[in-house]
């Protein structure tokens, strides 16, 4: 893929607008971008114990070529690192290295790295520049786009955070060469979501080309990553801080977050939990008469075809039901369920009966 083949998706947010650059061999583009900004020379590169050994030195060298002096901080891979305790260790590191309010923070890794590094960037000196370099399919199509940054609390996921937009997102498809199959599947969970909530044609593309999608065939990979980013960018541009339409991006997440929490964030990764949550949300949608059994079946069939789970182990209905009231989308004890009104269409309901919710939860338990 040459420079002309690269895809650029613009996230329109007024003065905070930025580009998502998608393509292969984006090193030169990253160098040009950094040289064009008025950053301080001291910089922070946050990565993790999985991605750092593969790409950390390479990216640090690019930043150095662009004129920066990057401090590399690698966290242990996994959701358990997304905490205030780890954030405090990073603050200590960058204070000791003299980073100032124009020092950029770069996030090289998956969603955990992006969320944590973004949270640090949003709070250090009341906000320093932030650039996303997502290295997992999930981060490329979900957490790196839209400006949500956060850390977890023992009582719930992403409860401590803010909305903080990056200066840019560089999605280098070469990073995907080393992705394990499970990491590909977890990204596909969020990609399927975009078809369900926004674009029936895109959902059909995933149904018709499952082998190319699973193999990350070049054309399929570029299309599904770019289309996912376009959909999220369109939603975020209309509703940056989740006052209304942006809620649709949470389809499947209400159950997913309870599954992740109840299984200690170790049994299921995020995309797997979202897949199960989408099966549950589709079930609620059918029970309420919003969709028919055939539409529900298409959702379940695609999720299964892409190698994602549809059932959760290690959970109970009682604990899952209690857990949804700790979700950050629950207001005054009212759960706002994002549900299907067809493929490509959603509706938000805050009056779903408890018996329907419990029945759907029982349906997704192994």
Q: What are the residue numbers of the active site?
A: 126, 148, 190, 232, 242, 246, 250, 253, 257, 270
Q: 3-state DSSP call for residue 343?
A: coil
The pair phi, psi for residue 201, each rounded to 5°, is -65, -40
Q: 3-state DSSP call for residue 46?
A: strand
Read off the DSSP letter of residue 334: B
- Asked if 261 and 82 touch (Cβ cutoff 8 Å), the reply is no
Paired with 160 in beta bridges are: 151
DSSP labels, 108-138: EESHHHHHHHHHHHHHGGG---EEEEE-SHH
d(CA 13, CA 237): 6
Paired with 125 in beta bridges are: none
DSSP labels, 88-105: HHHHHHHHHTT--TT--E
Between helices 57-65 and 27-35, what is the axis angle to 10°?
40
- Cβ neighbours of residue 188 closer than 8 Å, sequence gap 6 or more: 137, 213, 214, 271, 306, 307, 308
Q: 3-state DSSP call for residue 244?
A: coil
Residue 15's Cβ-count burial label (10 Å; 0-12, 13-18, 19+) is exposed
d(CA 269, CA 187): 10
- Asked if 141 and 176 touch (Cβ cutoff 8 Å), the reply is no
Strands 156-163 and 337-340: unpaired
Strands 105-109 and 42-48: parallel
d(CA 120, CA 9): 25
């Amino acid at each position: 893929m040459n420079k002309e083949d690269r895809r650029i998706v613009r996230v329109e947010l007024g003065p905070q607008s930025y580009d998502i650059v998608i393509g292969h061999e984006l090193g030169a583009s990253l160098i040009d971008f950094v040289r064009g900004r008025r950053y301080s020379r001291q910089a922070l590169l946050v990565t993790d114990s999985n991605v750092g050994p593969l790409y950390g030195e390479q990216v640090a060298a690019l930043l150095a070529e662009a004129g920066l002096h990057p401090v590399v901080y690698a966290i242990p891979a996994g959701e358990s690192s997304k905490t205030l305790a780890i954030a405090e260790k990073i603050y200590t590191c960058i204070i000791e290295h003299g980073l100032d309010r124009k020092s950029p923070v770069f996030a090289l890794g998956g969603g955990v790295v992006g969320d944590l590094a973004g949270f640090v960037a949003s709070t250090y000196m009341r906000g320093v520049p932030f650039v996303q370099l997502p290295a997992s399919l999930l981060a490329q199509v979900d957490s790196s786009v839209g400006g949500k940054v956060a850390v977890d609390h023992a009582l719930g996921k992403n409860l401590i955070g803010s909305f903080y937009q990056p200066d840019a997102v560089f999605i280098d498809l070469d990073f995907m060469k080393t992705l394990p199959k499970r990491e590909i599947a977890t990204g596909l969970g969020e990609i399927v979501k975009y078809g369900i909530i926004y674009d029936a044609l895109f959902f059909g593309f995933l149904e018709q080309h499952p082998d190319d999608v699973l193999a990350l065939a070049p054309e399929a990979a570029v299309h599904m990553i770019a289309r996912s980013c376009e959909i999220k960018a369109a939603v975020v541009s209309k509703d940056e801080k989740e006052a209304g339409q942006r809620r649709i991006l949470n389809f499947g997440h209400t159950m997913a977050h309870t599954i992740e929490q109840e299984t200690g964030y170790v049994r299921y990764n995020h995309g797997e939990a979202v897949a199960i949550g989408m099966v549950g949300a589709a079930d609620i949608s059918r029970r309420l008469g919003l969709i028919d059994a055939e539409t529900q079946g298409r959702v379940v069939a695609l999720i299964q075809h892409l190698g994602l789970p549809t059932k959760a182990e290690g959970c109970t209905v009682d604990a899952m039901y209690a857990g949804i009231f700790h979700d950050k989308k629950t207001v005054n004890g009212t759960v706002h369920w994002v549900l299907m009104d067809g493929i490509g269409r959603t509706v938000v309901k805050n009056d779903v009966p408890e018996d329907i919710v419990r029945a759907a939860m029982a349906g997704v338990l192994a």
